[in-house]
Chain A
Amino acid sequence: MAILQQGNTSSMPAKEFLTFVLGDETYALDIMTVKEIRGYEPATKIANAPSYIKGVINLRGDIVPIVDLRIKFDIGEATYNEWTIVIMLNVRDRVVGIVVDGVSDVMNLEAEEIKPAPEFGVAFDSRYLHGLAALEDQMVIIVDIEELISSDEIGVFESA
């Protein structure tokens, strides 16, 4: 990512991002971390877990935790129906599912199109942001999903 930001774009192919919606905001994450996208299914609750960790589900034999980002960042409404989407992510050799309001599109972004994020104004701490990009006249917030999911703040991983 560091290389991308240095702006060596001529030789660098555009990176693909998956955009998703939380509340009114559109976010994007590196598509290479996405394992699959599936519908929400009730998870098995886990004792003493924070409310945004919905529990664990069975993903083809693996027991995988589900994190509801809407609850975690208090955006949107945490309703669960047949349109509720879970993005299964591959992060640091683990699989974690995140619940979002919807998945919208896959977009190509050149490194130079990503502008530095302001220190405020988004639900996420700027540590977990790569920057902002414009998609038509909409602003897309690019999330460093690997950093976010493995952070102590989410607490899915054992803190080192």
Chain B
Amino acid sequence: MDNLSQYNEVFFEEAQEHLETMETLLLAYDIDAPDMEELNSVFRAAHSIKGGSDIFGFKALTGLTHVMENMLDSARNNELILTTDLITVLLETTDVLKNILSCYREESEIDWEIIEASKARLGATLQEVTGSGERVDALLEEDGEDQGFGFFDNNDDEDEEDQGFGFFEEDFDVVKDSTNEEDVGFGFFDENIGESNETPSEDENIGYGFFNDEPQVETPAQGNIKISLPTDQSTTPKILANKTAPSKTSETKSEASSIRVETNKIDKLVNLVGELVITQSMLNLIGSEVHESIADKMQSALIELERNTREIQEAVMSVRMLPISFVFNRFPRLVRDLSTKLEKKINLVIEGGNTEIDKNLVEKISDPLLHLIRNSVDHGIEMPSKRMEVNKDETGIVKLSAAQRGGEIVITIADDGAGLNRERIIEKALEKEISLPEPLSDNAVWQLIFEAGFSTAAEVTDVSGRGVGMDVVRRNIESLGGRIDITSAAGIGTVFTISLPLTLAILDGMTVEASDQVFIIPLVNIVESIQPIAEQIKRIKGKQLLWVREEYWPLIDIGKTLGGNTTATNLETGIVVLVETSKQRFGLVIDSLLGQQQVVIKNLERHYRRVEGIAGATIMGDGSVALILDVDSMTQFIQLNL
């Protein structure tokens, strides 16, 4: 087992992927027009998990997936029609499987009761649907080894209900006899058309009417045809199976063309490329000073190097990018569950799932999106009855879309619900003693819902309404360097727009100088930069404030708080950068502005420790290190200063 345990991680990841595939496909499953190919994929996923877990000895997974697999198998053989209830049960089973998987992963105790309960549930639902106790027992029976095939054998012997296979062969013979053609399927149909013209009214089932006319067909065969519906369907999977063969091979091909790489290897690569870019720009500087005969050669080589470096950088960065569907795919399930719970009818539309986004962002954007979608489902979309009243379609639409615009990823969550209620928000804000902004524009009112402790839901449901969500959403998004905007119209709906930087590794910043050291202020925080005049500088308790735009701005002297200066910068010769965070606005006193540039963010905590007021560091073109300010956490310096 020890030899195997090194592969455990691979199994966990694959099983996780298989479970996600199952969930996605089950959600997309259309009961009225079942797609056999999809059902086959679900079955294959279940089968892979079963096989894998058996090898690695994760018995809890094996047992449960086995029951599930059998159920899916009967479904794809059309012995079982999947109903909404059945799909719900199957989805719940995937949840249980996910739990078991993470139990194994964390090596924690496995709750066998849940597994047994889940098995029993599968069985019970199955029994309800099929009404056949025998079948259920067969499904639930756990054989450890090769149940899949054992089950088939059973079927062959039973011979009463499962004409599928026994009959199928006969059917084949019959057809062959009648047409004597190799291309059985099509020959059969062609002839059928011709002959069915003659006997159109004789039998409702035209296709099989043909059989009746056929002289060679014997009575027992006809008997089979009478119960013809299952046959009709059992041919379908057979044909489909043939069709799927090529697509299956293409799937395997795409699997082989990708490999799993640990993220830290990629991070290292990204770091090294960043370093390469710096070395390259240093070389460029040196190269421009060369005046000898080699100058020309040197220049062209340097240009070549520059182009190659840029291409390497782009290629490496693209390795870190993942389609945003990694996040989006979790939501159809959520919406389905929530709408069932809330008895609302909701259609989730997803667009732009292919938009690529930095891997680190993918993980961090998931929670805020979850909150927002919950919010749209719970508060946005009205109850079906209410929607009917206002002449809207009974089914509400929540649209989740992503697109790249310039250097940003824009994610929108739009619902066609009631829209935000301006009066109620203001009322609530007053009740919670949240100060109202001036002027009270719609936009300013909408922003109020992001205040801590704000929630307009009349009562707290387990879906949302605890009022912890929205302020966390905004904080999370801002910590990713993004921002969130709301537009809303009463009766028409609400749109949340999230703008995020393409990658976490790069930041648009203003480089500034204070106490002979270079700092970077994130551009998103900057309101404006001014050179204060004497009249604007006010003093309270010996501390300086700046009077700009009818507002007092507290000041933080960067040179003193971060640069190690002992004396304060002279305000009248310095520059004040006015910045804004979600909590507060203030001014940063610096010596001079150097310029605006994109910088690669490096973690300071990798080799050192967290520093208050500093978000990270970056390497400048000359190879030196500059610190990036964490404007959000700098507010604490104000309190210390005042």
Q: Which residues of A contact B607 (CB under 8 A)?
A: 56, 62-65, 94-96
Select the stretch in B152-160, B189-197, B608-616 that faces chain A: B608-616
A44-B604 contact given A61-B271, A158-B609, A158-B610, CB 8 Å threshold: no
Name the contact of B619 in the complex, choosing from A42, A48, A61 (C-beta under 8 A): A61
Is A115 an interface residue when CB atoms closer than 8 A count as contact? no
B positions within 8 Å CB-CB of A: 271-272, 274-275, 517-518, 561-564, 602-614, 617, 619, 623-627
Name the contact of B517 in the complex, choosing from A44, A60, A63, A94 (C-beta under 8 A): A44
Name the CB-closest residue of A to B605.
A158
Name the contact of B564 in the complex, choosing from A45, A60, A62, A158 (C-beta under 8 A): A45
Minimum Cβ distance to chain A for residue B414 (Å): 41
In contact, A61 and B275 (Cβ under 8 angstroms): yes
Name the contact of A46 in the complex, choosing from B274, B606, B611 (C-beta under 8 A): B611
A9 to B613, CA, bound (A): 51
Interface residue tally of chain A, by bracket? 20 to 34
Is A1 an interface residue when CB atoms closer than 8 A count as contact? no
Q: Which residues of B contact A45 (CB under 8 A)?
A: 517, 563-564
Additional pairs, 13, CB under 8 Å, beyond known A44-B518, A46-B614, A56-B625: A46-B608, A55-B625, A56-B608, A56-B617, A58-B619, A61-B272, A61-B275, A61-B602, A62-B602, A65-B607, A94-B607, A156-B608, A158-B605
Q: Which residues of B contact A95 (CB under 8 A)?
A: 607
A44-B609 contact given A58-B623, A62-B271, CB 8 Å threshold: no
Name the CB-closest residue of A to B516.
A45
Q: Which residues of A contact B624 (CB under 8 A)?
A: 42, 44, 58
Name the contact of B561 in the complex, choosing from A42, A46, A47 (C-beta under 8 A): A47
In contact, A61 and B274 (Cβ under 8 angstroms): yes
Q: A20-56: contact bitstring with B at CB < 8 Å (1 yes, 0 no)?
A: 0000000000000000000000111111110000011
In contact, A47 and B612 (Cβ under 8 angstroms): yes
Is A57 an interface residue when CB atoms closer than 8 A count as contact? yes
Q: Which residues of A contact B625 (CB under 8 A)?
A: 43-44, 55-58, 63
Name the contact of B562 in the complex, choosing from A47, A60, A63, A157 (C-beta under 8 A): A47
Sample of 17 A–B contacts (CB below 8 Å) = A44-B517, A46-B627, A47-B562, A47-B564, A47-B612, A55-B625, A56-B607, A56-B625, A57-B625, A58-B619, A58-B624, A61-B272, A61-B602, A62-B607, A63-B607, A63-B617, A63-B625
A153 to B626, CA, bound (A): 26
Q: Which residues of A contact B562 (CB under 8 A)?
A: 47
A47-B275 contact given A58-B619, A61-B619, A62-B606, CB 8 Å threshold: no
In contact, B627 and A44 (Cβ under 8 angstroms): yes
Name the contact of B563 in the complex, choosing from A42, A47, A65 (C-beta under 8 A): A47
The residues in A between 114 and 153 inclusive whose CB is less than 8 angstroms from any CB of B are none
Q: Which residues of A contact B561 (CB under 8 A)?
A: 47
A62 to B271, CA, bound (A): 8
A44 to B271, CA, bound (A): 19
A62 to B561, CA, bound (A): 25
Q: Which residues of A contact B612 (CB under 8 A)?
A: 47-48
Minimum Cβ distance to chain A for residue B629 (Å): 10
Minimum Cβ distance to chain B for residue A7 (Å): 35
Minimum Cβ distance to chain A for residue B395 (Å): 52
A45 to B562, CA, bound (A): 8
Q: Which residues of B contact A63 (CB under 8 A)?
A: 602-604, 606-608, 617, 619, 625
Q: Which residues of B contact A46 (CB under 8 A)?
A: 608, 611, 614, 627
A113 to B563, CA, bound (A): 47
Name the CB-closest residue of B to A57.
B625
Name the contact of A47 in the complex, choosing from B271, B274, B614, B623 (C-beta under 8 A): B614
A60-B611 contact given A44-B517, A47-B562, A94-B606, CB 8 Å threshold: no
Minimum Cβ distance to chain B for residue A54 (Å): 11
Q: Which residues of B contact A61 (CB under 8 A)?
A: 271-272, 274-275, 602, 619
Q: Which residues of B contact A65 (CB under 8 A)?
A: 607-608
Minimum Cβ distance to chain A for residue B636 (Å): 12
